[in-house]
């Protein structure tokens, strides 16, 4: 794909600003346009298909994170508006096809990650793992696109399909407040890997009503241990505020706005009542998951949304006292997925081999930091752990960065680029 003019200008400016850091300059030049150059397809129907990289499917979550760093350049660039606006339109189409699906095919090709999954697959679905955050990311992109390109000037994406999708998102999040009683969703995968199937005949373990909304899977595509994923519910609270504003200001639907506001209030109550625990070392922290019966998962995962990314999601600022405690927990060995080695230390995931640190987590740690020294050190770690490839990866062994997963993972490249853009803006590189 030919790069939009605003992206070409940004690359030229970065060449000058990073001239004193040749490897960083090359990494940014590789990673910043990577989504546009390798994973973006403009389709004849006016929509945009953004696949994840080494997998030929489009994740609702990943596709947003792959383009989000381009939003600041979209206001005056019609080519970039076509790309991002087309992606929004395709995301709304997919949500209307099935709001419980996390990853879709470009066409109704019948291709699936696992043909044997018991989860009511259709030909459009690459994989049907219900992840609450997958409904949140497209709303975030829609809202930020609207705000970036002008509250009155760029309303072309607020069409009937968009209205239908936003309505369905509210309905599903509300239904999943009472998953056991009301939800039709189930998922069973025949595998030796327990992290990718739901117990209890595919329904997940029982949960108590809390006001929060149930999710089958995490942002890592692993099954939730307990049904209420706290970071995903935080994200849901944020985007329900966006839906309320869009429903009122664009669609003039006071009823939808009221339903979204009520749901947001209930979820926020659930987070603050059931999602905060007292840790003996770190004090009051946000749990990663709970079932509402008093059971908790105290950990953090490298994927977004996670506990580290709470300010990035917009739920609370980085100076929130409970977030600060939670951040210290997540970046310590009290988090069972925090790893340390010769070349890196950071958060990993049960989704990849034990001990791997994720580039996504290192980038997110820097993006949510207010400490210039911490940010600079993390950028240096990222630069030194690309294994000579010129790109970011998924997980890598902190003692041997050449031992890594996913050589072509566009989301990781995009988040790294977002970090370097922010660092250049602040004069930290």
pLDDT higher than 80, residue 429: yes
Instruction: Say which residue the tokens 């095919």 belong to.
Output: 105
Q: How confident is the model at residue 153 (pLDDT cuts 50, 70, 90)?
A: very low
Q: Quick one: which H or E segment has residue 338? A: strand 338-340
Domains of the chain, start order: 5-426 (1.50.10.10)
pLDDT, residue 193, reads 72
Rounded to 5 degrees, what are φ and ψ at 207? -130, 155
What pLDDT, on the 0 to 100 scale, is given for residue 12? 97
Helix (H) or strand (E) holding 228: strand 228-229
**Residue pLDDT, tens place only, 230-244:** 999 999 999 999 999
pLDDT 10s digits, 189-243 = 987 777 899 999 999 999 999 999 999 999 999 999 999 999 999 999 999 999 9
CA dihedral sign, ordered 96, 99, 103, 108: negative
Low-confidence winner among 7-11, 29-33, 75-79, 255-259 (lowest mean pLDDT): 75-79
CA angle 156, 161, 162 (to 5 degrees): 60
Kindly state the average pLDDT of the residues 251-274. 98
At 155 the pLDDT is 63
Q: pLDDT tens digits, residue range 388-413?
A: 999 999 999 999 999 999 999 999 99
pLDDT band at 73 (very low <50, low <70, confident <90, very high): very high
Residue 63 predicted with pLDDT over 50: yes
Does the pLDDT at position 283 exceed 90? yes
Indicate the average pLDDT of the chain: 96
Q: How far apart are CA 184 and CA 222, in angstroms?
A: 20
**213: which residues sit within 8 A by CB, 6+ positions away?**
132, 173, 174, 176, 177, 228, 233, 236, 267
Q: Is the Cβ–Cβ distance between 376 and 368 less than 8 Å?
A: no
pTM, two decimals, is 0.97
Alpha-carbon distance of 115 to 180, in angstroms, equals 26
| Neighbouring-strand partners of residue 118 | 188
Structure-derived torsion over alpha carbons of residues 86, 90, 91, 97, reported in degrees to the nearest 10: 160
Better-scored residue on pLDDT, 266 or 192? 266
Token pair for 188: 């069973």
Region 20-31: what's the mean pLDDT?
98
Please tell me what DSSP assigns to residue 118.
B
Residues 6+ apart with CB under 8 A from 167: 256
Please say if the pLDDT value at position 151 is more than 90.
no
Mean pLDDT value of segment 352-370:
97
> Following DSSP, what letter does each residue of 275-320 receive, concatenated?
SEEEETTTEEEE-SEE-SSS-EE----SSSSSSTTHHHHTSS-TT-
Give the pLDDT mean for 26-37: 98
Q: How many CB atoms lie within 10 A of CB 402?
A: 11
Over residues 266-293, the mean pLDDT reads: 98
Sign of CA dihedral 97, 100, 105, 106: positive
pLDDT band at 152 (very low <50, low <70, confident <90, very high): very low
Residue 162 contacts residue 142 (beta carbons within 8 Å): yes
CA triple 413-418-419, angle to 5 deg: 100
Interaxial angle between packed helices 22-31 and 410-426, expressed in degrees from 0 to 180 and rounded to the nearest 10: 130
Q: Which two tokens stand for residue 256?
A: 């939808």
Burial class of residue 345 in the structure, from the number of CB atoms within 10 Å of its CB (0-12 exposed, 13-18 middle, 19+ buried): middle
């Amino acid at each position: 794909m030919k790069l939009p003019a605003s992206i070409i200008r940004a690359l030229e400016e970065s060449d000058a600003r990073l001239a004193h850091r040749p490897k960083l300059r090359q990494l940014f030049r590789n990673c910043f346009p990577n989504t546009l150059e390798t994973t973006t397809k403009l389709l004849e129907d006016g929509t945009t298909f953004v696949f994840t990289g080494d997998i030929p499917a489009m994740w609702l979550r990943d596709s947003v994170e792959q383009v989000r760093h381009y939003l600041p350049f979209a206001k005056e660039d019609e080519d970039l508006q076509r790309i991002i606006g087309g992606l929004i339109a395709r995301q709304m189409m997919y949500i209307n096809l099935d709001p419980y699906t996390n990853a879709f095919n470009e066409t109704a090709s019948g291709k699936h990650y696992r043909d044997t999954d018991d989860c009511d697959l259709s030909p459009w679905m690459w994989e049907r793992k219900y992840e609450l955050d997958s409904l949140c990311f497209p709303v975030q992109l829609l809202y930020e696109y609207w705000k970036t390109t002008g509250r009155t000037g760029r309303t072309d994406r607020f069409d009937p399909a968009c209205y239908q999708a936003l309505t369905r998102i509210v309905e599903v999040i509300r239904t999943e407040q009472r998953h056991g009683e009301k939800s039709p969703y189930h998922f069973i995968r025949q595998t030796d890997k327990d992290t990718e199937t739901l117990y209890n005949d595919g329904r997940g373990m029982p949960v108590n009503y809390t006001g929060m909304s149930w999710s089958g899977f995490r942002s890592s595509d692993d099954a939730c241990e307990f049904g209420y994923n706290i970071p995903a519910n935080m994200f849901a609270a944020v985007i329900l505020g966006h839906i309320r504003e869009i429903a009122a200001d664009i669609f003039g639907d006071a009823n939808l706005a009221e339903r979204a506001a009520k749901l947001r209030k209930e979820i926020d109550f659930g987070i603050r009542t059931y999602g905060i625990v007292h840790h003996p070392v770190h004090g009051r922290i946000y749990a990663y998951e709970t079932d509402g019966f008093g059971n908790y998962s105290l950990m953090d995962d490298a994927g977004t949304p996670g506990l580290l990314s709470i300010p990035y999601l917009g739920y609370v600022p980085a100076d929130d006292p409970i977030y600060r405690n939670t951040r210290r927990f997540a970046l310590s060995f009290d988090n069972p997925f925090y790893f340390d080695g010769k070349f890196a230390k950071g958060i990993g995931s049960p989704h990849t081999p034990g001990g791997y640190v994720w580039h996504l987590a290192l980038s997110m740690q820097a993006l949510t930091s207010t400490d210039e020294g911490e940010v600079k050190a993390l950028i240096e770690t990222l630069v030194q752990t690309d294994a000579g490839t010129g790109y970011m990866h998924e997980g890598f062994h902190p003692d041997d960065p050449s031992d890594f997963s996913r050589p072509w993972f566009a989301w990781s490249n995009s988040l790294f680029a977002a970090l370097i853009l922010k660092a250049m803006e602040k004069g930290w590189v």
